[in-house]
Structure 1
Amino acid sequence: MARRNGAPEVNAGSMADIAFLLLIFFLVTTTIETDAGLDRMLPPMEPPEEDVVIRQKNIFTVNINKNGQLLVEDELMPLNNLRDAAIAFLENGADGSCDYCQGSKDPASSDNPSKAIISLKNDRETKYSTYITVQNELVGAYNDLRNRASQRIFGTDFTEMESEYLNPETASAVRDELKDKVKRIQDMFPQKLSEAETTSN
């Protein structure tokens, strides 16, 4: 009887099953990091039925040109002064209704934090890093005011309370307790940051 000279064949019938199991293993065990992004609320789909009248003194305008320069309330301002200027505007308390505001009560500036709006506008050629830095400074102004109010009322920073409240691993009883505290501070200094349309020149 003649012997075969060919190489022995490898049984590859189960290779597809092994590859499929490996694929499922990596899909289940891999963690995908997600970026937090910017916390912004989009405008509603339909415009409001009634026009909302906003007094110009309650709007704090910040413009960024393509060179990264800031025009704040129609005056050039360095970036490191932006946070302090925003804080002064937000807690001005011109109408006297804000008993926790420590502002100068300038009648030409915002009435109270619930009416104060920061309007950010940038050029189409503005660098993204500049845009994010300005955003951080403006959000930092809100956080500084909220931290100060939270320290005075609850003895802890607002940012710590909020991060613990938003953490999904926090016990539900603790989250329920933090919910009212976080909302109270947010209502004292509501974050009203409006982004106007960009300009091309």
Structure 2
Amino acid sequence: MGYLQKDQVAVNAGSMADIAFLLLIFFLVTTTIVNDKGILMKLPIKNNESVELNQRNVFAILVNSKDEILAKNELIKFDQLKDRTKKFIDNNGANAHLSDSPLKAVVSIRTDRGTTYDTYLKVLDELKLSYNELRAASLGLRLAEYENLDIKNPEEKELLDQARELYPMQISDAEPLESK
């Protein structure tokens, strides 16, 4: 028996590289890359000098590995944090255990290695909200009105700058504690 020899069909692959290149360009042009957003904070200028602070002017917050909040070594509930922070910052020397003035008040956050990231962000948001409420009140505005001020408008930018001068946001993020 003889085998019949069929003609071999060859595929012309000359334009395959061109097609692959066009597909690659198509996907690069049409694909959008999502940018992750981080915590928007202005970082301080690197300074090797240590600053001596009066402990009266430091509002020390510790978030432990159980996500419990200690403010000035007192265990507090999360919903008390904003009011305690505002009271500390806006003391103006009235209470000897609280800050001398908003200009000298420093809020220090310290976390344990077991602290969840979610809790840390919630605490940071509450602290920012405290400052924003104080700033809004200093301008005689509601919080929503303050947050809607436009930095591009020169008059509103001046108001924002004025509020930031009265209540500078001084938040210190200390190194995490070692778990024991």
**Band of TM-score, shorter chain:** 0.7 to 0.9
Contact 2:133 2:143 (C-alpha < 8 Å) held by counterparts: no
Q: Deviations over 1:65-120 (max 9, x none)?
A: 111111111111011100110011111112xxxxxxxxxx3233112212110001
Partner SS, residue 148 of structure 2: helix
Given the alignment of the two structures, is residue 134 of structure 1 paired with residue 123 of structure 2, yes or no? yes
Given the alignment of the two structures, is residue 159 of structure 1 paired with residue 147 of structure 2, yes or no? yes
Match of 1:193 in 2: 171
- Partner residue of 1:5 out of 7, 13, 17: 7
Partner SS, residue 163 of structure 2: helix
Q: Deviations over 1:8-37 (max 9, x none)?
A: x34332332333233333333333332332
Counterpart-to-counterpart distance in 2, 1:67 and 1:40: 26
Match of 2:46 in 1: 45
Percent identical across equivalent pairs? 37
Match of 2:21 in 1: 20
Q: TM-score, normalised by structure 2?
A: 0.81
Given the alignment of the two structures, is residue 87 of structure 1 paired with residue 81 of structure 2, yes or no? no
- Consecutive unaligned residues of structure 1, counting only runs of 5 or more, are 95-104, 166-173
Partner SS, residue 76 of structure 1: strand
Counterpart-to-counterpart distance in 2, 1:139 and 1:76: 20
Given the alignment of the two structures, is residue 36 of structure 1 paired with residue 37 of structure 2, yes or no? yes
Closer, same or farther in 2 for the Cα pair 1:11/1:125, shift >3 Å?
same
Match of 1:98 in 2: none
Counterpart-to-counterpart distance in 1, 2:166 and 2:79: 25
Closer, same or farther in 2 for the Cα pair 1:189/1:34, shift >3 Å?
farther
Q: After TM superposition, give the deviation of residue 60 of structure 1 in Å.
A: 0.3
Contact 1:113 1:188 (C-alpha < 8 Å) held by counterparts: yes
Partner SS, residue 5 of structure 1: coil
Deviates more, 1:106-115 or 1:14-23: 14-23
Counterpart-to-counterpart distance in 2, 1:120 and 1:146: 21
Residue correspondences, number: 175
Closer, same or farther in 2 for the Cα pair 1:146/1:11, shift >3 Å?
farther
Please say which structure displays the higher CA radius of gyration: 2
Counterpart-to-counterpart distance in 2, 1:86 and 1:32: 39
Closer, same or farther in 2 for the Cα pair 1:158/1:33, shift >3 Å?
farther
1:60 maps to a residue whose letter is F
Match of 2:66 in 1: 67
- Partner residue of 1:119 out of 108, 116, 129: 108
Q: Note the aligned Cα RMSD (angstroms).
A: 2.6
Counterpart-to-counterpart distance in 2, 1:87 and 1:189: 11
Q: TM-score, normalised by structure 1?
A: 0.74
